[in-house]
Amino acid sequence: MTDRFKFSRDKGALKDALLDQKWDALELAGLIFEPNLPEGSSIVLIDDKYQSGVPMQFVASRLYLAGASEVFGLSMVKTLRDTDNQ
């Protein structure tokens, strides 16, 4: 994660959580942007691996709420394990 985006609280392990639990855990962790995101920003999110996609989707949703006009996501690898998409 970049220095500009961080969670204010520990989000815990998301790997074995159900999809709705992942989103809730991310919300409770309190993602913050410092300094504030400039209105109309274009952002590229890069993640080392794609499992459920929830963390990237969550961060993208918060970036839009913070004023981003475009958010693109790029993952390097899709994991073989697909059981975390339940």
25-59 CB burial, b ≥16 within 10 A, e <16: bbeebebebeeebeeeeebebebeeebbbbbbbbb
Domain extent, residue 76, equals 5-85
Amino acid at 63: L
| Model pLDDT for residues 24-42, shown as the tens digit of each residue | 999 999 988 887 888 899 9
pLDDT for residue 17 is more than 70: yes
Distance set, CA 5 to CA 19, 21, 28, 30, 63 (Å):
22, 21, 15, 10, 10
Instruction: Between 19 and 71, name the one with better pLDDT.
Output: 71
Number of domains in the chain: 1
* Angle subtended by helix axes 54-65 and 19-29, to nearest 10: 40
